[in-house]
Amino acid sequence: MSWEDVSYVLRSKTRKAVLARLDTPSTPTLLAQELHTSIPNISRALRELLSKKLIESLTPKERSGKLFVVSKHGRLVSSKVKEISEDKV
């Protein structure tokens, strides 16, 4: 696990919410509806999380309706993010 990745996730409310939500597979459209934000915001967060290998696509060849899920590395980072976030409350 990388503390830089933890910090990266914590710096964005959308990245944090998307990573936490992807414990089960979901599409960008469903994420946008559930997290009450726009599809462009979700798409940006997904690209950013993919670039850090915190999530993975289960259907990479699909053009629409792609399914994303948290990666093994992402689970470790998400766990630390939750731990740190709970300490602030």
Which H or E run includes 63?
A: none
What pLDDT is recorded for position 87?
62
pTM here is 0.90
Q: What's the domain count of the chain?
A: 1
Q: Are 28 and 56 in contact (CB under 8 A)?
A: no
* Mean pLDDT, rounded, for 6-32: 96
For 23-55, the pLDDT digits (tens) are 999 999 999 999 999 999 999 999 999 999 999
Domain containing 70 — which CATH number?
A: 1.10.10.10
* pLDDT above 50 for 59: yes
* Mean pLDDT, rounded, for 19-25: 96
Position with higher pLDDT, 86 vs 11: 11
Give the structural domain span for 20. Answer: 3-88
Q: Where are the alpha helices (DSSP H) in the chain?
A: 3-10, 13-21, 28-35, 39-51, 72-88
